[in-house]
Structure 1
Amino acid sequence: MLHTRTTPVERRRSFRERLASGRLLRVPGAVNPLSARLVEETGFDAVYLSGAALSADLGLPDIGLTTAGEVADRARQIARVTGLPLLVDADTGFGEPLNAARTVQLLEDAGAAGLHLEDQVNPKRCGHLDGKTVVPRAEMVRRIRAAADARRDPDLVLMARTDARGPEGLAAAIDRAKAYVDAGADAVFPEALADEAEFAAFRAAVDVPLLANMTEFGKGPLLDARTLENLGYNIALYPVTLLRLAMGAVEDGLRTLAAEGTQASLLPRMQTRSRLYGLLGYEQYAAFDTAVFDFTLPPGA
C-alpha cells in the first residue's frame, strides 16, 4: 500500500544475488507502474523499464528523443510500487561521459537496481533497425568508466550493451564486451544476435552475467527460457511485450466500439472493476482512512 516495503539498497543487493544464482531471471518490461505490479504478482524475477516502451508511451519514436529526466521520473514511479529489482534502459547515457555519470546518479536516486548503457552514437536508434552506428571502442570505455566512478551504491548493477554485432560483426562485439567489462561493467547485453549459435559463442567468450533480448519482430530468434538457461544466460528480457499486447487490445477495442456503438461485447475481455481495485489495494488504503473504501462492489463488477 502506498509504496513498496523494500528499500532500493535491498533491491540492488537482491538483484546482484539473483544474477549470481546461476538461474535464468525472467524480466518483462513494464508499461507503467500498474503493470509493474502485475509483473510482480505473476511471479517474475525483476521488472524492466524499456527506452523503446517509454518513447512509445510518450508518442515518440525510439531515436533518442527522451531525456534522462523523463526516464528517471518513470523509474521512480515504477520503483515506488514494486518490491522487484528494476533494470533501466539508460540509452547512451544521454550525452558525453559526464552526462552518463549524472544519469547513473539520477537513476540511483530513482530507486533503480541496475541500468544499461549502450555503445551507439547519440542520438541512438532501436537496436533491431538497420543503419546503426557505434562509437569508437575507446569512447564507450570512457562512458563505462565514468558511470562506474559515479556509482555511489556498489550494489547498483552497471550493464554494458553493445550494438556492434550489426555494423562490425560478432567478433568485434565480443571484443568490445570484454573491454567494457575491464572498464567496470558488471554484466553485458549483446544486442541483436542473429541465432542460437551466436548466443552460445558470446557466452563462451564472456564470463560475466549476460542478458538475452527476446524482443518481438526483431533480428534474432525468440528462444524459450529453457534454451536460454541451457545456454548459460542470466536474464531473459521481454522489453516491449506488454506494450504490444496492451496497444493491440486498445486498437481492437476502439475499432469494435466505433463499429458497434457500444462496448458491451468487449466486457469479457476487460479487467473488471473489482480486479483493478484489488490490484490497486483499495482495502489496504482503508486501514489508513475508512472513507476511502466504504462501499460494496456490485456483483460481477
Structure 2
Amino acid sequence: MKTKTLRELLDSKKLIRVMGAHNGLSAKLAEQAGFDAIWASGLEISATHSVPDANILTMTENLQAAISMNQATSIPIICDCDSGYGNVNNVIRMVKEYERNGMAGICIEDKQFPKLNSFVDGPQKLTPIEEFAGKIRAAKDTQMDPNFVVIARIEALIAGQGLQEALNRAYAYEEAGADAILIHSKQKDPHEIVAFVESYNGSAPIVIVPTTYPTLDVDQITNYGIQVVIYANHGLRSSIKAMKETFDRILKEGNTAGVELDISTMQEVFELQGMFEMRRQEDKYSSTLVTFK
C-alpha cells in the first residue's frame, strides 16, 4: 500500500523529495523524473480550474484531481487539504474520504477557513492553537490505516507572528498526534526556516516548501535535519510558460513547423497515455478465436 511506502520513507530518516502536481499526467511525469512522492497541490489544482487558491473549489473537486494522480502513478500521494475545508466535522469527513480513495497522507494548515494562498498579500488569519490541535486529534482518531500520514502546516511565519509562535504551535500539533510538521515561510532567503529548525526540539519530521527561497539546496536541507522538501508548484509554472511561448509562436509564425521541433512528439503523448499498452492488450486478447461446439 502507498500509505506503508510513505510511512517507511518517513521512518528511513532519508530526505524525501516531493513534486507538486495537478492531474494524472503531471503526476506521472513527476514519478518518471524520480521523485519519491506527489504533492496534490491546492494551488495547482485551483489554477487548472482558473479560480483563486482560496477555497473556491470544494473538497470533492480537489479529491477527484488527487484520485486521477493516484490512479496514474505508483508512488504515494500527499494531498494539500488547505485548512480542512471547515471545522472539525469537515476534517473527519475529509480523512474518511481521502483514506478510502487511497491517498497516502494529507496536510492541513492552521489558517481559518476559507484560507488565502500564503504568497498573496492580504489578511492571513490563524486558527487558535487548541482549535487546530483538535483538528489534528480528530484526523488521527478518524483514520483506519495506522500508516496514513497527517501533516500539520504552520502558518505563523506567513502571518508575521514570529518564531516563538511557530514553535508553540509545532509542539502543540506534535502532541496532538501530527506525523510531521510543515513550517512555511515567504521570505526570499531561508533564515526563518533555519531559525525554526535550529530551535525546534521536537521529534516530528520537518517539511519545507522552498518556493520563495530557491537557493536552499539538497545538501543544506539534509544538513539542517529537514526530512521532506516539497517543490509545490514548479510543474504548473513551467507548463504555463511553455504553453504561452508555443501559442505566441504559432500566431506569430503562422504555422506550427517551428514549434514542432521544441514540443513533445505525438508518440510521447501516446506513451504517457498508455496507448501502446492498450493496443498490446487488444492484440493479446483478440488474437485467439473462441469457438463453441
TM superposition score normalised by structure 1: 0.89
Q: Tell me, yes or no, if structure 1 residue 261 matches structure 2 residue 254.
A: yes
2:190 is aligned to 196
Matched pairs, number: 282
TM superposition score normalised by structure 2: 0.91
Q: Tell me, yes or no, if structure 1 residue 121 matches structure 2 residue 98.
A: no
Q: Is the 8 A contact 1:75 1:111 kept in 2?
A: no
Q: Is the 8 A contact 1:75 1:110 kept in 2?
A: no
1:205-228 Cα offsets, whole Å, 9 max, x none, are 13211111022xx3x454111211
Counterpart mapping for 1:1-301 below 5 A: 10-130=1-121, 131-167=123-159, 168-192=161-185, 194=187, 195-204=189-198, 205=200, 206-215=202-211, 218=212, 220-290=213-283
Counterparts of 1:46 and 1:85 in 2: how far apart (Å)? 5
Farther-moved stretch of structure 1 (252-261 vs 202-211): 202-211
Q: Percent identity?
A: 33
1:210-260 Cα offsets, whole Å, 9 max, x none, are 111022xx3x45411121111111111111100000011111111111112
Counterparts of 1:221 and 1:46 in 2: how far apart (Å)? 20
Counterparts of 2:29 and 2:142 in 1: how far apart (Å)? 32
Could you say what secondary structure the match of 1:140 adopts? helix
Over the residues paired in the alignment, what is the CA RMSD in angstroms? 1.9
Report how far residue 193 of structure 1 moved. Answer: 5.9
- Unmatched 5+ stretches in structure 2: 286-293
Counterparts of 1:155 and 1:38 in 2: how far apart (Å)? 26
1:17-67 Cα offsets, whole Å, 9 max, x none, are 111212111111113201211111111111111001111011101111111
Counterparts of 2:214 and 2:238 in 1: how far apart (Å)? 19
- Unmatched 5+ stretches in structure 1: 1-9, 293-301
Could you say what secondary structure the match of 1:166 adopts? coil
Counterparts of 1:256 and 1:91 in 2: how far apart (Å)? 37
**Alignment CA distance shift 1:222-1:32 (3 Å):** farther
